[in-house]
Structure 1
Amino acid sequence: MPAKLDHTIVHSSDRFTSAHFLTDLIGAPEPKAYGPFAAVPLANGVTVDYADSIVKPDRLVMQHLALLVSEEEFDEIFARIVERRLPYWAEPAHKGSQQINHRHHGRGVYVDDPDGHAIEFLTHTYVMDGTG
């Protein structure tokens, strides 16, 4: 049986600022303090735990979080991104500025959190056909 992801830790310059950024975009309840973390529970039981990094902000290793959302949730999240005038991209590495993508039979968009971590919202999981 495959393992299930329970939680992941994302290092940040301010754990609650980063956690609030995510909860605000996805329309989730406020993050909760859990030990040294600001915890953001997701619908499938996985928790994103933001931690204050012990390294300087310019030394943070950038991470990528891909969040699968429904078409309706995508519309709501994308409206929040546009309303806040956040930069967004259709592709990783900041390609396709102020555009969304239509890959894998769905829609997707990338936005950076306050520390530069990439957050991807997609409506259809990637099609893994072995070609690439």
Structure 2
Amino acid sequence: MSAQLNHTIVWCRNKQASATFLVEILGLSAAEPFGPMLMVKLDNGVSLDFYDNDPPIASQHYAFLIGDDDFDAAFARLQARQLRWWADPGKLRAGEINDYGGGRRVYFDDPDGHLLEIMTRA
């Protein structure tokens, strides 16, 4: 058997708010309770399990490979919420879209300061 990522825990201040944010931006199915966590299932079988923790929350990076139409929809939702986005993980190119490798990608923060990335090419 090869090694595959199954899930990871996402530390947050409010699991409902954080899971809902991700679900709404990416257009995913609603988070499901799993023990003390809220589980957001991704299309490749991996889940992000949101778990309440006391601040400070250390910022992590989560990148999501999505199709062109899904990128357009997620990016429109970012803009509708008037969220800031960057073309780079260092947050130096604000309001730009990165076209590295012939695809598109943007970075943005979730409610706990985790750096999220949506991209159309790996």
Measure the CA separation in 2 of the matches of 1:52 and 1:35. 12
Q: Secondary structure at the match of 1:80?
A: helix
Aligned to 1:89: 86
Measure the CA separation in 1 of the matches of 2:32 and 2:104. 30
* Structure 1 position 2, deviation (Å): 3.6
Gaps of 5+ in 1: 126-132
* Structure 1 position 105, deviation (Å): 2.1
Are residues 1:18 and 2:18 paired? Answer: yes
Aligned to 2:40: 40
* Structure 1 position 32, deviation (Å): 1.1
Measure the CA separation in 2 of the matches of 1:114 and 1:124. 25
* Structure 1 position 93, deviation (Å): 2.2
Superposition map of 1:1-132 within 5 A: 2-53=2-53, 55-56=54-55, 59-125=56-122
Extract structure 1 runs of 4+ deviating beyond 2 A.
none
* Structure 1 position 29, deviation (Å): 1.8
Gaps of 5+ in 2: none
Q: Secondary structure at the match of 1:96?
A: coil
Amino acid at match of 1:3: A
Amino acid at match of 1:75: D
Measure the CA separation in 1 of the matches of 2:119 and 2:80. 19
Measure the CA separation in 2 of the matches of 1:33 and 1:98. 35
Structure 2-normalised TM-score? 0.96
Instruction: Tell me the C-alpha RMSD between the 2 structures.
Output: 1.0
